[in-house]
Copies of this chain bind each other. A is one copy, B any other.
C-alpha cells in the first residue's frame, strides 16, 4: 500500500482515497476505532483473522497517512493506544455507509 507520503496526482477522487484506505484490512481497523481509542491487543482481539504483524504494518501506514495517532505509555508491560485523528474521524460517513450496506446486503442474507 502506498502511503500519502508517496503522494501523486489523482484525477479520480475514488482512486485517490483507495490509496489511503484500500487493502484488505484498513477499513476494518478504522471501523474498529470509530467510536473509541483502543489498545493494540484490543484491536487484535476484535479482528481475529488479522495477524499481529500485518496489524502493526497497517497501523503504521495509517499513522503515516495521518488517519490515526499512536500513543505509547512507557509502562511494564507496555501499553499502546490508537485513536482516530480528525482526518480519520472524517471517514465516518464512508464507514457508516459501508456498515449499513454490509448489514443489509450481507449479514441479513446469511
Contact = CB atoms under 8 A, between A and B. Distances in A.
Interface of A: 9-10, 12-18, 20, 22-24, 27-28, 31, 47, 49, 87, 90-91, 93-107, 110
**Residue among A16, A28, A96 having the largest count of chain B Cβ atoms under 10 Å:** A16
Contacts of A98: 13-14, 17, 94
Tell me the dominant secondary structure on chain A's binding face: helix
B24 A102 contact: no
B91 A17 contact: no
Nearest to A20: B106
Copies of this chain, complex-wide, total 2
**Residue among A12, A91, A95 having the largest count of chain B Cβ atoms under 10 Å:** A12
A16 B102 contact: yes
Contact of A10 (B14, B91, B93, B107): B107
B14 A28 contact: yes
A106 B16 contact: yes
Nearest to A103: B13
